[in-house]
Structure 1
Amino acid sequence: MGTREALSSNQPRKNRPLKRGDALGRTEKLRKASPIRRVVVGSLLAGLIVVVMIGGRTAIRSVNEWTKIQQITIVGLERLSREEITEKLNLPSDSSLWSIDMDHLKGQLETHPWIRAVTFDRVLPHSLIVQVEERQPAALLRASKTTYFLDEEGHLLPGETTKAGEALPVLEGMTSKFFSQHKDESHRRAKQGIHLAELLSERFPGRPTVNVAHAHTTIVDLPSFRFQFGQEADRQWERFLVLYPTVKDTIERKSQEVDLRFSQKVILRKRTL
């Protein structure tokens, strides 16, 4: 008997099952502890976020102070003045190289009719370089009692025309009001008129005058010739160049009107006006 008791006492005791009351007590303690734990963890996270935000703001403030804009260099100006550009930029006195919105500034400057494109360069620690590409006059527009410059894309350039414009081709048939009310169409007509004036100037002497009053017909007047083009002007001009060697003497001997508006035809007639 003693041996059996000794053997049984050396064997591991089996875990006794928890009583129902004990299990409920532990669950209740965990439930009470969970809200407290959540509050503590939430407070720690909130504190960490505040610290990060304060540190981030301090870092941003330091960077802005270190890169505060003290010098603005503007290059590419011919007609426009530095004052016009800085007025359009309208930068606050505390602007830094990293606080400014380049796209916004670019949009502001490119609303100026004489500005074609703008680029910016940051030069640490305090310099901003503004590269301006101005539109270049390619023709004159005679509109009512006022004459304007036009660039090669057909944009109306306000302001006083200079003596440099005396050698440029002249466009007629559109007003400044037409440009403001029919932007795309006015650009298309002006662009085509300038293009045709350039083509004819390469072949014939004299200053071209181009009538763009009609949507589908462009009339180019030179001292001794008048050309009428339709919608496919480039193709019509190529057709004329093929025929030109055979009619060159006739055209150059007397004032002629060359009508290229009709398909597969080159019509020559005596110029009346």
Structure 2
Amino acid sequence: MTVTTSLAQPTELTSIGTKDLFLETTGTGPDVVLVHGLGGATPFYDPLVTDLAGNFRFIRYDFNGHGRSPLSGELSIETLAEELAEVIRTQTTSSKAHVVGHSMGTLIVQQLAATHPELVDKIVLLGPVRAQPDQAKAATRARAALVREQGMSAVADAISCGATSDQAAGHNRLLRPLVRELLLGQDAEAYAQACEALAAATNPELSAITSPVLLITGDEDGVSPPSLNETIAGELKNAQRHTITDIGHWTLLEAPDFVADYLTTFLQDT
């Protein structure tokens, strides 16, 4: 196992089960595995890793077909959860970890926690989602068809502007360009398959999750509105939640200091 204590970039992919994934390990302390969302990649977590590498050992990876990980085999929430399970088994110091997910990544984390509770300590969900309603499923499948036909440039501007708040973008002029860059860096076919996996997702059983869970969203998050977070928290056995004002769906990139503070307090609380 290679441990990186700085933000130096790995030069090779890491074999995880039958897949080769881009994976970075940074910092010292309790293991925290970071799972990005649809259209994301490991740089999504740069603010967290930069601020907290002295407190935690972060393991972040590009899931199958995203970022710098090549597409291999079937894409579904279930297969991505098994991929995450293998990351925890092979890359952590004790085969158990805190797990953080964003957006679609929160579904992957929910599935993992419901089916492999022995691998999970505490959970942090950023902009958490559940299985999509029918109208959203249709829109997600239409997005898959659009990027297959026209490439990632067909959706990058709409997502980077529509899923972030104007106030957050005003405070950080690089916010929307960074989100756009993450989207444009995706392979169109792999992104389309991930869209189809999201549209086909069913709800992991929240009552089976025994780990403590922290939910964080923004009051302008149209994908993960505060009302949805309240519903999710109500179905979990041990949950707390925070709503950050004036941010949208790219939670960490829009409010890095708030997320870092909430996460640190939650994970270090005994």
Q: TM-score of the superposition, structure 2-length normalised? A: 0.20
- Structure 1 or 2: more strand by fraction: 1
Larger radius of gyration: 1
User: Larger relative contact order (C-alpha < 8 A, sep ≥ 6)?
Assistant: 2
TM-score of the aligned structures, taking structure 1 as reference length: 0.20
